[in-house]
Amino acid sequence: MLGVNLEHRKAGLHYKAGRDFPQELEIPPQMRDVLIGCLLKVRSKDRGLVRLVPNRAQLEFARRCTKRNIVLKARQLGITTYVAARYFVHTITQPGTMTVQVAHSQESAEEIFRIVHRFEENLPEALRNGALYTSHANVRRIVFSRLDSEYRIEAADENAGRGLTIHNLHCSEVARWSRAGVEGLASLRAAVPKEGNIVLESTPNGAGGLFYEEWQRAEETGYTKHFFPWWFGDDYKEEVGADELGPLTEEEAELAAKHQLTKAQIAFRRKKKAELRGLTAQEFAEDPVACFRASGESVFDMEAIDEALQGCGEPLTTRDNGRLAVWFPAQGEKRYIVGVDPAGGGCDGDYSCAEVIDRETGMQCAELHGHFPPAELARLVAQVAREYNGALVAVERNNHGHAVLANLRHEGFGNLYREGHQEGWLTSAVNRPSMIENLGAVLRTAPRLFHSRLFLGECRTFVRHADGSTGAAAGAHDDAVMAMAVAYAVRRAGTWEGAEREMELVSL
């Protein structure tokens, strides 16, 4: 079928060993999938070897993948195997390719290596003895010496991939990497050139940590998000008789209608909820927010958050590379409040956030969120406030807030919230609990006032710590929560009328 000078007729690929091997051989997507289906074998659930035929999740990943990808998924959907297959084909068709897969533990690394080694040992014999002759194939490393290509499987630690130039990098179960692995990820990614490929992939593991942070920042860092819920798995079904399932709950009926779920899938869902209870959302993810369970006691009402998320729509407009989202533009003579939580502006630190709410109804109208130096944040906040009929701006003056206030004055914006003669809002140990309680009460009684998935995601990961304090869970952020809490605290205080009259006198 295939020789040293071989032709794979099904794939239409002319493939020669030795000096005649092409230095650049671009494999179009359709040919790559043909090669995967024709050449690679996997172990089926009945322990036999079968050709790798992509399932729903794998096909969807193939359809949308780019050079930089992050995958959030339910358990056992075959993404690790499929990424391994894609990278394996790339390694054996592109001379000089270095592929590295990094697993969260030694045991997982060995399991992935067995998958990849199975690919290699079940290739046609003519290939294995010809172009794909391996000079080294043990200890989680396969070297195709005639191609100068190599495939490595490593466990996540600070030395993974050190000293290599990596053309294909797959980091598996990143949410479960140790501290040493997390420290090594930066050097792993630095080893991938611009035209190389990266996949960060994991099931969720709490609302915090490296993977959670990477998922939240994906748009900012240029990674394509892929979310695969449990119903993408062909085996996630529980066959039931015609009358065994009984009537669907309102939640089940809505889910089934939205995603075309069968009775067998609903029965499976019920069974897993009974078995896993609170862990179901994490192990069998249904949406990319709820699957990140908060570690700690959640401060805000989860049912209210879920209700708000169900009603979330896309912003009417976005600007500034998505950093400003607008759901309701300014209207007529309406009056607005802008709550601002500033940060230092560094790309690796906390975010700055400004939340715009309608004074009368409390409706969330717009959200500004990103890494901004104080001067840029002040300029953007002033611009947004002017658009919203000269909205009252309440800047949390703790820490970086003083610099933002100074820059707002420099921008000529005068409608600043004041406490006495002091500009800005001071969050203290005394008033912080009541601010959070006030925001929680609004969220609980009127969840449909909120439209930002970012804000609601932060509410989900805003927890009560062991010492009684409240804040973001480890690895999460609370910038949007605090900006909104400031806006609602000012609205509840009802002192802005006097503040504006004072500002008019000052301007005179």
pLDDT: which is higher, 365 or 2: 365
Classify residue 429 as exposed, middle or buried by CB count within 10 Å of its CB (0-12, 13-18, 19+): exposed
Query: Across the chain, what does the average pLDDT equal?
Result: 85
Q: What is the predicted pLDDT for the residue at 242? A: 64
**Mean pLDDT, range 40-44, rounded to an integer:** 89
| pLDDT band for position 499 (cuts 50, 70, 90) | very low
Angle of helix 29-39 relative to helix 79-93, nearest 10 degrees, comes to 100
CB contact at 8 A, 173 and 121: no
Q: What is the predicted pLDDT for the residue at 17? A: 38
| pLDDT band for position 345 (cuts 50, 70, 90) | low
C-alpha span between 437 and 425 (Å, rounded): 17
In tens, the pLDDT along 205-264 reads 877 778 988 998 898 889 999 999 999 998 899 888 767 788 899 889 999 999 999 999
Q: What is the predicted pLDDT for the residue at 245? A: 83
| pLDDT band for position 349 (cuts 50, 70, 90) | low
Q: What is the predicted pLDDT for the residue at 2? A: 35
| pLDDT band for position 19 (cuts 50, 70, 90) | very low
Check pLDDT > 80 for residue 180.
Answer: no
**Mean pLDDT, range 189-197, rounded to an integer:** 93
Retrieve residue 343's tokens: 């940060």
Classify strands 317-319 and 352-358 as parallel, antiparallel or unpaired.
Answer: unpaired
Paired residues of 325 in beta bridges: 318, 367
Would you give the DSSP letter of residue 279? Answer: G
For residue 249, how many other CB atoms are within 10 A of its CB?
Answer: 11
Q: What is the predicted pLDDT for the residue at 18? A: 38
Number of H helices, E strands in the chain: 18, 23
C-alpha span between 380 and 354 (Å, rounded): 10
Q: What is the predicted pLDDT for the residue at 229? A: 95
Would you give the DSSP letter of residue 290? Answer: T
In tens, the pLDDT along 110-154 reads 999 999 999 999 998 888 888 887 776 566 889 998 899 999 998
- Which range of 6-20, 111-125, 296-310 scores highest in mean pLDDT? It is 111-125
C-alpha span between 294 and 305 (Å, rounded): 13
Q: What is the predicted pLDDT for the residue at 16? A: 41
The whole model's pTM is what?
0.67
Q: What is the predicted pLDDT for the residue at 27? A: 59
In tens, the pLDDT along 417-453 reads 998 889 999 999 999 999 999 999 999 999 999 999 9
41: left (phi over 0), alpha (psi -120 to 50) or beta: beta
**Mean pLDDT, range 55-71, rounded to an integer:** 94
276 Cβ neighbours under 8 A, 6+ residues apart:
283, 284
Check pLDDT > 50 for residue 10.
Answer: no
For residue 423, how many other CB atoms are within 10 A of its CB?
Answer: 22
Domains contained in the chain, CATH given: 5-228 (3.40.50.300), 237-293 (no CATH), 297-507 (3.30.420.240)
CB contact at 8 A, 355 and 480: yes
Check pLDDT > 80 for residue 399.
Answer: yes
Classify residue 351 as exposed, middle or buried by CB count within 10 Å of its CB (0-12, 13-18, 19+): buried
Q: What is the predicted pLDDT for the residue at 14? A: 39
SS3 sequence, 257-269? HHHCCCHHHHHHH
Q: What is the predicted pLDDT for the residue at 140? A: 81
pLDDT: which is higher, 345 or 52: 52
Residue given tokens 């209207």 in the structure block: 331
Retrieve residue 2's tokens: 């295939």
140: left (phi over 0), alpha (psi -120 to 50) or beta: left
Of the candidates 405, 429, 407, 400, which has an alpha carbon nearest to the alpha carbon of residue 419?
Answer: 405
Which range is least confidently modeled, 64-73, 135-144, 370-379, 380-389? 135-144
